[in-house]
Protein backbone atom coordinates (compact mmCIF):
# COMPACT_ATOMS: atom_id res chain seq x y z
CA UNK A 1 0.00 0.00 0.00
CA UNK A 2 1.04 3.54 -0.68
CA UNK A 3 0.83 6.33 1.89
CA UNK A 4 1.20 9.87 0.57
CA UNK A 5 2.32 12.36 3.21
CA UNK A 6 4.61 11.59 6.14
CA UNK A 7 3.36 14.18 8.58
CA UNK A 8 2.18 13.12 12.02
CA UNK A 9 -0.70 11.17 10.58
CA UNK A 10 1.17 9.51 7.73
CA UNK A 11 4.20 8.60 9.78
CA UNK A 12 2.31 7.08 12.67
CA UNK A 13 0.01 5.27 10.32
CA UNK A 14 3.04 3.85 8.51
CA UNK A 15 4.54 2.71 11.82
CA UNK A 16 1.37 0.95 12.90
CA UNK A 17 0.85 -0.73 9.57
CA UNK A 18 4.49 -1.70 9.35
CA UNK A 19 4.26 -3.32 12.80
CA UNK A 20 1.34 -5.33 11.57
CA UNK A 21 3.41 -6.60 8.71
CA UNK A 22 1.92 -4.65 5.83
CA UNK A 23 4.07 -3.92 2.85
CA UNK A 24 4.06 -0.18 2.44
CA UNK A 25 5.75 2.83 0.95
CA UNK A 26 5.47 6.40 2.16
CA UNK A 27 5.95 9.40 -0.13
CA UNK A 28 6.97 12.72 1.42
CA UNK A 29 7.62 16.01 -0.35
CA UNK A 30 9.50 17.95 2.30
CA UNK A 31 13.19 17.12 2.35
CA UNK A 32 13.59 17.75 6.08
CA UNK A 33 10.64 15.60 6.96
CA UNK A 34 11.77 12.91 4.56
CA UNK A 35 15.21 12.76 6.25
CA UNK A 36 13.63 12.36 9.69
CA UNK A 37 11.22 9.65 8.67
CA UNK A 38 13.79 7.86 6.54
CA UNK A 39 15.96 7.25 9.61
CA UNK A 40 13.24 5.02 10.99
CA UNK A 41 11.42 3.62 7.99
CA UNK A 42 14.44 3.49 5.64
CA UNK A 43 13.54 2.03 2.26
CA UNK A 44 9.86 2.40 2.97
CA UNK A 45 10.08 6.16 2.32
CA UNK A 46 10.50 7.98 -0.96
CA UNK A 47 11.16 11.65 -1.47
CA UNK A 48 8.89 13.46 -3.91
CA UNK A 49 5.68 15.41 -4.48
CA UNK A 50 2.95 12.79 -4.34
CA UNK A 51 0.69 14.81 -6.59
CA UNK A 52 3.14 14.43 -9.46
CA UNK A 53 2.22 11.44 -11.57
CA UNK A 54 5.79 10.27 -12.17
CA UNK A 55 6.43 10.27 -8.42
CA UNK A 56 3.38 8.08 -7.87
CA UNK A 57 4.46 5.81 -10.69
CA UNK A 58 7.99 5.50 -9.32
CA UNK A 59 6.43 4.59 -5.98
CA UNK A 60 4.59 1.76 -7.72
CA UNK A 61 1.03 3.07 -7.67
CA UNK A 62 0.11 0.72 -10.52
CA UNK A 63 0.69 -2.24 -8.22
CA UNK A 64 -0.74 -0.73 -5.02
CA UNK A 65 -3.93 -2.29 -3.71
CA UNK A 66 -4.50 0.68 -1.45
CA UNK A 67 -3.61 4.36 -1.51
CA UNK A 68 -3.91 6.54 1.58
CA UNK A 69 -3.71 10.28 0.92
CA UNK A 70 -2.87 12.00 4.19
CA UNK A 71 -0.98 15.17 3.31
CA UNK A 72 -1.81 18.38 5.12
CA UNK A 73 -3.35 19.81 1.97
CA UNK A 74 -6.91 18.90 1.02
CA UNK A 75 -6.52 19.78 -2.65
CA UNK A 76 -3.51 17.47 -2.86
CA UNK A 77 -5.40 14.68 -1.10
CA UNK A 78 -8.36 15.03 -3.45
CA UNK A 79 -6.16 15.03 -6.53
CA UNK A 80 -4.08 12.07 -5.38
CA UNK A 81 -7.22 10.08 -4.59
CA UNK A 82 -8.78 10.97 -7.90
CA UNK A 83 -5.82 9.89 -10.03
CA UNK A 84 -5.21 6.82 -7.86
CA UNK A 85 -8.71 5.57 -8.51
CA UNK A 86 -9.47 6.85 -11.98
CA UNK A 87 -6.09 6.79 -13.70
CA UNK A 88 -4.36 3.90 -11.95
CA UNK A 89 -7.39 1.82 -11.01
CA UNK A 90 -6.47 1.50 -7.34
CA UNK A 91 -9.33 -0.33 -5.66
CA UNK A 92 -9.16 1.12 -2.20
CA UNK A 93 -8.46 4.79 -1.63
CA UNK A 94 -8.67 6.54 1.72
CA UNK A 95 -8.31 10.30 2.00
CA UNK A 96 -7.75 12.64 4.87
CA UNK A 97 -9.74 15.85 5.04
CA UNK A 98 -7.96 18.54 7.05
CA UNK A 99 -10.68 21.15 6.98
CA UNK A 100 -14.21 19.78 7.51
CA UNK A 101 -15.53 22.52 5.23
CA UNK A 102 -13.78 20.78 2.37
CA UNK A 103 -15.68 17.52 2.92
CA UNK A 104 -18.24 18.69 0.37
CA UNK A 105 -15.54 18.79 -2.32
CA UNK A 106 -14.39 15.22 -1.54
CA UNK A 107 -18.01 14.21 -1.70
CA UNK A 108 -18.69 16.00 -4.98
CA UNK A 109 -15.77 14.25 -6.64
CA UNK A 110 -16.80 10.86 -5.29
CA UNK A 111 -13.82 10.39 -2.99
CA UNK A 112 -14.60 8.08 -0.12
CA UNK A 113 -13.97 7.06 2.54
CA UNK A 114 -12.74 10.36 3.88
CA UNK A 115 -11.28 10.66 7.35
CA UNK A 116 -11.58 14.02 9.03
CA UNK A 117 -9.87 14.11 12.41
CA UNK A 118 -11.45 17.45 13.25
CA UNK A 119 -14.84 16.02 12.52
CA UNK A 120 -14.20 12.88 14.57
CA UNK A 121 -13.01 14.91 17.54
CA UNK A 122 -16.03 17.18 17.26
CA UNK A 123 -18.30 14.14 17.35
CA UNK A 124 -16.47 12.73 20.34
CA UNK A 125 -16.79 16.02 22.18
CA UNK A 126 -20.46 16.10 21.35
CA UNK A 127 -20.80 12.62 22.76
CA UNK A 128 -18.78 13.28 25.90
CA UNK A 129 -20.26 16.62 26.81
CA UNK A 130 -23.64 15.91 28.37
CA UNK A 131 -26.49 17.78 26.83
CA UNK A 132 -30.16 17.25 26.42
CA UNK A 133 -31.97 16.34 23.33
CA UNK A 134 -31.03 13.95 20.57
CA UNK A 135 -27.43 13.38 19.81
CA UNK A 136 -26.46 12.46 16.32
CA UNK A 137 -23.93 9.73 16.71
CA UNK A 138 -23.51 8.63 13.20
CA UNK A 139 -24.81 9.44 9.76
CA UNK A 140 -24.52 6.69 7.24
CA UNK A 141 -25.51 8.51 4.07
CA UNK A 142 -24.45 5.56 1.92
CA UNK A 143 -26.76 3.26 3.79
CA UNK A 144 -29.37 6.00 4.33
CA UNK A 145 -29.40 5.50 8.07
CA UNK A 146 -28.88 7.62 11.14
CA UNK A 147 -28.06 6.53 14.65
CA UNK A 148 -29.16 8.84 17.44
CA UNK A 149 -28.97 8.83 21.21
CA UNK A 150 -31.74 10.20 23.42
CA UNK A 151 -32.07 10.71 27.16
CA UNK A 152 -35.39 9.53 28.54
CA UNK A 153 -37.05 12.38 30.46
CA UNK A 154 -38.98 11.68 33.73
CA UNK A 155 -42.40 12.67 32.43
CA UNK A 156 -41.92 11.49 28.87
CA UNK A 157 -44.21 9.03 27.11
CA UNK A 158 -41.39 6.50 26.98
CA UNK A 159 -40.65 6.45 30.73
CA UNK A 160 -42.35 3.33 32.12
CA UNK A 161 -43.53 2.10 28.72
CA UNK A 162 -42.65 -1.02 26.81
CA UNK A 163 -40.77 -0.43 23.57
CA UNK A 164 -43.67 -1.89 21.57
CA UNK A 165 -46.15 0.53 23.17
CA UNK A 166 -44.33 3.61 21.93
CA UNK A 167 -45.81 3.52 18.47
CA UNK A 168 -42.51 4.46 16.87
CA UNK A 169 -42.81 5.04 13.14
CA UNK A 170 -41.77 2.37 10.63
CA UNK A 171 -38.12 2.83 9.80
CA UNK A 172 -37.09 3.38 13.40
CA UNK A 173 -35.77 0.85 15.85
CA UNK A 174 -34.50 1.00 19.43
CA UNK A 175 -31.21 -0.85 19.21
CA UNK A 176 -29.89 -0.40 22.72
CA UNK A 177 -30.83 0.83 26.18
CA UNK A 178 -28.11 2.14 28.48
CA UNK A 179 -28.97 2.01 32.17
CA UNK A 180 -26.76 2.39 35.24
CA UNK A 181 -23.62 2.18 33.19
CA UNK A 182 -24.43 -0.91 31.18
CA UNK A 183 -26.38 -1.54 28.05
CA UNK A 184 -28.65 -4.19 26.61
CA UNK A 185 -30.48 -4.84 23.41
CA UNK A 186 -34.20 -4.53 24.13
CA UNK A 187 -37.07 -6.63 22.90
CA UNK A 188 -40.59 -5.38 22.30
CA UNK A 189 -41.63 -5.91 25.90
CA UNK A 190 -38.54 -4.32 27.50
CA UNK A 191 -39.61 -1.45 29.72
CA UNK A 192 -37.85 1.88 29.25
CA UNK A 193 -37.17 3.81 32.44
CA UNK A 194 -36.72 7.51 33.09
CA UNK A 195 -33.03 8.33 32.99
CA UNK A 196 -32.21 5.63 30.43
CA UNK A 197 -30.21 6.50 27.39
CA UNK A 198 -31.61 4.91 24.28
CA UNK A 199 -29.92 4.39 20.96
CA UNK A 200 -32.07 4.32 17.87
CA UNK A 201 -31.38 3.61 14.26
CA UNK A 202 -33.55 5.61 11.88
CA UNK A 203 -34.29 6.23 8.28
CA UNK A 204 -33.17 9.80 7.63
CA UNK A 205 -35.72 12.47 8.49
CA UNK A 206 -37.61 10.50 11.14
CA UNK A 207 -35.89 12.16 14.07
CA UNK A 208 -38.53 14.89 14.62
CA UNK A 209 -41.23 12.21 14.90
CA UNK A 210 -39.26 9.99 17.26
CA UNK A 211 -37.81 12.56 19.66
CA UNK A 212 -41.13 13.65 21.29
CA UNK A 213 -41.66 10.18 22.83
CA UNK A 214 -38.55 10.60 24.92
CA UNK A 215 -38.67 14.26 25.93
CA UNK A 216 -40.90 15.84 28.56
CA UNK A 217 -44.05 17.62 27.42
CA UNK A 218 -42.86 20.81 29.15
CA UNK A 219 -39.64 20.78 27.16
CA UNK A 220 -41.56 20.25 23.98
CA UNK A 221 -43.80 23.21 24.77
CA UNK A 222 -40.72 25.33 25.35
CA UNK B 1 -11.69 40.53 -20.45
CA UNK B 2 -13.04 43.62 -18.74
CA UNK B 3 -11.81 45.91 -21.51
CA UNK B 4 -13.49 43.56 -24.02
CA UNK B 5 -16.75 44.52 -22.33
CA UNK B 6 -17.26 41.39 -20.22
CA UNK B 7 -18.46 41.41 -16.65
CA UNK B 8 -15.47 40.16 -14.64
CA UNK B 9 -15.36 38.98 -11.06
CA UNK B 10 -12.02 38.13 -9.45
CA UNK B 11 -11.46 36.05 -6.30
CA UNK B 12 -8.10 36.18 -4.55
CA UNK B 13 -7.00 35.29 -1.06
CA UNK B 14 -4.96 38.48 -0.62
CA UNK B 15 -6.85 41.78 -0.49
CA UNK B 16 -3.78 43.55 -1.92
CA UNK B 17 -4.07 41.61 -5.16
CA UNK B 18 -6.55 44.18 -6.42
CA UNK B 19 -3.60 46.56 -6.85
CA UNK B 20 -2.29 44.31 -9.63
CA UNK B 21 -5.58 44.65 -11.47
CA UNK B 22 -5.37 48.42 -11.23
CA UNK B 23 -1.78 48.81 -12.28
CA UNK B 24 -1.49 51.21 -15.20
CA UNK B 25 -5.16 52.17 -14.96
CA UNK B 26 -6.34 55.64 -14.02
CA UNK B 27 -9.46 54.37 -12.31
CA UNK B 28 -10.04 51.71 -9.69
CA UNK B 29 -10.92 48.12 -10.68
CA UNK B 30 -14.42 48.60 -9.38
CA UNK B 31 -14.86 51.96 -11.14
CA UNK B 32 -13.86 50.14 -14.31
CA UNK B 33 -16.76 47.77 -13.67
CA UNK B 34 -14.94 44.76 -12.23
CA UNK B 35 -15.72 43.11 -8.95
CA UNK B 36 -13.33 41.64 -6.42
CA UNK B 37 -13.91 39.15 -3.61
CA UNK B 38 -11.38 38.16 -0.99
CA UNK B 39 -11.38 34.43 -0.33
CA UNK B 40 -9.65 31.18 -1.14
CA UNK B 41 -10.64 29.08 -4.10
CA UNK B 42 -12.29 26.29 -2.13
CA UNK B 43 -14.46 28.63 -0.06
CA UNK B 44 -17.91 28.16 -1.43
CA UNK B 45 -19.15 31.35 0.23
CA UNK B 46 -16.53 33.40 -1.58
CA UNK B 47 -17.41 31.82 -4.91
CA UNK B 48 -21.10 32.48 -4.33
CA UNK B 49 -20.41 36.07 -3.36
CA UNK B 50 -18.34 36.48 -6.49
CA UNK B 51 -21.36 35.35 -8.51
CA UNK B 52 -20.35 31.86 -9.67
CA UNK B 53 -24.00 30.91 -10.08
CA UNK B 54 -24.42 33.53 -12.80
CA UNK B 55 -21.07 32.95 -14.47
CA UNK B 56 -20.90 31.69 -18.03
CA UNK B 57 -17.16 31.15 -17.82
CA UNK B 58 -14.77 30.23 -15.02
CA UNK B 59 -10.98 30.52 -15.07
CA UNK B 60 -8.98 28.63 -12.43
CA UNK B 61 -5.55 30.24 -12.36
CA UNK B 62 -4.22 30.23 -8.82
CA UNK B 63 -0.56 29.36 -8.36
CA UNK B 64 -1.44 25.79 -7.37
CA UNK B 65 -2.11 23.14 -10.01
CA UNK B 66 -4.04 20.90 -7.65
CA UNK B 67 -6.15 23.76 -6.33
CA UNK B 68 -6.99 24.74 -9.91
CA UNK B 69 -7.92 21.21 -10.91
CA UNK B 70 -10.20 20.71 -7.92
CA UNK B 71 -11.90 24.09 -8.07
CA UNK B 72 -12.44 23.74 -11.82
CA UNK B 73 -14.28 20.48 -11.23
CA UNK B 74 -16.34 22.15 -8.51
CA UNK B 75 -17.27 24.94 -10.96
CA UNK B 76 -18.18 22.38 -13.61
CA UNK B 77 -19.97 19.71 -11.61
CA UNK B 78 -21.53 21.68 -8.79
CA UNK B 79 -22.25 25.05 -10.37
CA UNK B 80 -22.52 23.85 -13.97
CA UNK B 81 -20.54 26.79 -15.34
CA UNK B 82 -20.68 26.26 -19.14
CA UNK B 83 -17.04 27.09 -19.88
CA UNK B 84 -14.27 26.20 -17.45
CA UNK B 85 -10.58 26.80 -18.17
CA UNK B 86 -7.78 25.56 -15.91
CA UNK B 87 -4.16 26.59 -15.67
CA UNK B 88 -1.95 23.58 -14.96
CA UNK B 89 1.84 24.00 -15.02
CA UNK B 90 2.64 20.29 -14.88
CA UNK B 91 2.28 18.81 -18.39
CA UNK B 92 1.48 15.31 -17.09
CA UNK B 93 -1.46 16.39 -14.95
CA UNK B 94 -2.62 18.83 -17.65
CA UNK B 95 -2.67 16.06 -20.20
CA UNK B 96 -4.50 13.49 -18.08
CA UNK B 97 -7.16 15.93 -16.93
CA UNK B 98 -7.62 17.11 -20.53
CA UNK B 99 -8.39 13.49 -21.42
CA UNK B 100 -10.98 13.54 -18.64
CA UNK B 101 -12.71 16.47 -20.32
CA UNK B 102 -11.31 19.56 -18.61
CA UNK B 103 -10.01 22.45 -20.71
CA UNK B 104 -6.51 22.61 -19.35
CA UNK B 105 -4.01 25.24 -20.43
CA UNK B 106 -0.43 24.24 -19.77
CA UNK B 107 1.99 27.19 -20.04
CA UNK B 108 4.94 24.82 -19.62
CA UNK B 109 3.85 22.69 -22.57
CA UNK B 110 3.16 25.81 -24.65
CA UNK B 111 6.61 27.19 -23.86
CA UNK B 112 8.22 23.84 -24.72
CA UNK B 113 6.45 23.82 -28.07
CA UNK B 114 7.38 27.41 -28.88
CA UNK B 115 10.98 26.79 -27.94
CA UNK B 116 11.31 23.56 -29.92
CA UNK B 117 9.61 25.21 -32.91
CA UNK B 118 12.09 28.07 -32.73
CA UNK B 119 15.00 25.66 -32.55
CA UNK B 120 13.67 23.53 -35.44
CA UNK B 121 13.11 26.63 -37.52
CA UNK B 122 16.67 27.77 -36.88
CA UNK B 123 17.94 24.31 -37.81
CA UNK B 124 15.99 24.35 -41.07
CA UNK B 125 17.39 27.74 -42.02
CA UNK B 126 20.86 26.54 -41.15
CA UNK B 127 20.41 23.53 -43.45
CA UNK B 128 19.16 25.75 -46.26
CA UNK B 129 22.09 28.11 -45.89
CA UNK B 130 24.53 25.24 -45.48
CATH of domain A130-221: 3.30.70.1450
Q: How many angstroms separate the CA atoms of A72 and A92, rounded?
A: 20
Fold of A2-120: Rossmann fold (3.40.50)
Q: Per the CB < 8 Å rule, is A108 touching B93?
A: no
Contact with chain B for residue A55, Cβ under 8 A: no
Sign of torsion over alpha carbons A63, A67, A71, A76 = positive
pLDDT single digits (tens) A35-83: 999 998 888 999 999 999 999 999 999 999 999 999 999 999 999 999 9
Least CB-CB distance to A108: which of B74, B93, B100?
A: B74
Q: Which residues of A touch B72 (CB under 8 A)?
A: none
- For residues A41 and A18, the answer to whether their CB atoms sit within 8 Å is yes
pLDDT single digits (tens) A169-205: 998 989 888 888 788 889 889 999 998 988 888 888 8
Coil, strand or helix at A27: strand
Q: pLDDT band at residue A136, thresholds of 50, 70 and 90?
A: low
Q: How many angstroms separate the CA atoms of B70 and B83, rounded?
A: 15
CA distance B17 to chain A (A): 22
Q: Per the CB < 8 Å rule, is B43 touching A75?
A: no
Q: How many angstroms separate the CA atoms of A98 and A71, rounded?
A: 9
Domain boundary assignment for chain A: 2-120, 130-221
Specify burial of residue A202 (Cβ count, 10 A radius: 0-12, 13-18, 19+).
buried
CATH of domain B39-129: 3.40.50.720
**DSSP letters along B57-87, please?**
EEEE-SS-HHHHHHHHHHHHHTS--SEEEEE
**DSSP letters along A120-138, please?**
HHHHHHHHHS--SS-EEEE
- For residues A69 and A96, the answer to whether their CB atoms sit within 8 Å is yes
Query: pLDDT per position in chain B (130 positions), as tens?
Result: 888 889 999 999 999 999 999 998 889 999 888 999 999 889 999 999 999 999 999 999 999 999 999 999 999 999 999 999 999 999 999 999 999 999 999 999 999 999 999 999 999 998 887 6
Least CB-CB distance to A83: which of B42, B43, B96?
A: B96
Domain boundary assignment for chain B: 39-129
Q: Which residues of B touch A78 (CB under 8 A)?
A: 66, 70
What percent of chain A shows pLDDT beyond 90?
49
Query: How many Cβ contacts (< 8 angstroms) between chains A and B?
Result: 44
Sign of torsion over alpha carbons B92, A53, A70, A148 = positive
Contact with chain B for residue A76, Cβ under 8 A: yes
Amino acid sequence: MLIVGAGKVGWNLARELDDRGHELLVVESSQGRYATVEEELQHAVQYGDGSELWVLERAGIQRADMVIAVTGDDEDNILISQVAREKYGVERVIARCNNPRNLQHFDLLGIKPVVSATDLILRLIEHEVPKYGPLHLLDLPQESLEIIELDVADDSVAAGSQVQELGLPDGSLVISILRDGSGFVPTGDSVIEAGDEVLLVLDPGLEPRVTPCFTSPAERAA
Amino acid sequence: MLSDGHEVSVVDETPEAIALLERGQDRSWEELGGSFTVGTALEIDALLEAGIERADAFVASTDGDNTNLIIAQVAQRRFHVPKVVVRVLDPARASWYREQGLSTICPTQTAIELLTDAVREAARQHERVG
